[in-house]
Amino acid sequence: MNRHLKMAFMVAPFLGILGFIGADYYSENQAAKNKIIQLVPEGHCDIINQSCVLKSGEFKVNISDEAGVTEVNSTFPLDSATLFLVNQSDQMTPYPLGMQKSPYYWRSPTELRSLVGEKGASYKLRLIAKIKGGQYISEFYTQTTK
């Protein structure tokens, strides 16, 4: 074995460890960059009857309303969540949701039940859920079926 080969065997483990650490820093930096991902409804959306799921890949958000309090729960922990009620002239009313129990559950009192409480009523909504620099957004309609 010559001296160059011996030196290569001594340096290789350190280069492997430094490469692993560098790749981890790079992937963490990429995850923290701002990006916008669209959430789409999974089937028919009926928030009043607890049947509204929005998804993007493995990330899912369930939206429900009980007694005038709208709740959002997700498969991954959120940094923040805001629900917008959009009227017919496209004017938005924001409802910042507050964290309950854990970062998976967010809720706030809204006027949604009074707007779509009757069977057949429909209303346009927008949701913005933030996770580590990523913004999951959706514009969808809820329609009461029962």
Say how many CA atoms lie within 13 Å of 28 toward its Cβ.
Answer: 6
pLDDT of residue 88: 86
Give the number of other Cβ atoms within 10 Å of residue 116's Cβ: 22
pTM, to two decimals:
0.74
pLDDT of residue 87: 87
pLDDT of residue 101: 82
pLDDT of residue 72: 92
d(C-alpha 124, C-alpha 94), whole Å: 13
pLDDT of residue 100: 85
pLDDT of residue 131: 87
Identify which of 131, 127, 129 has the alpha carbon closest to the alpha carbon of residue 139: 127
* pLDDT string in tens for the chain (146-residue length): 788 888 888 889 998 999 999 999 888 887 667 788 899 998 889 888 888 999 998 999 999 988 889 999 999 999 999 999 998 888 999 999 999 888 999 999 988 888 877 788 888 999 999 988 789 999 998 888 87
pLDDT of residue 75: 92
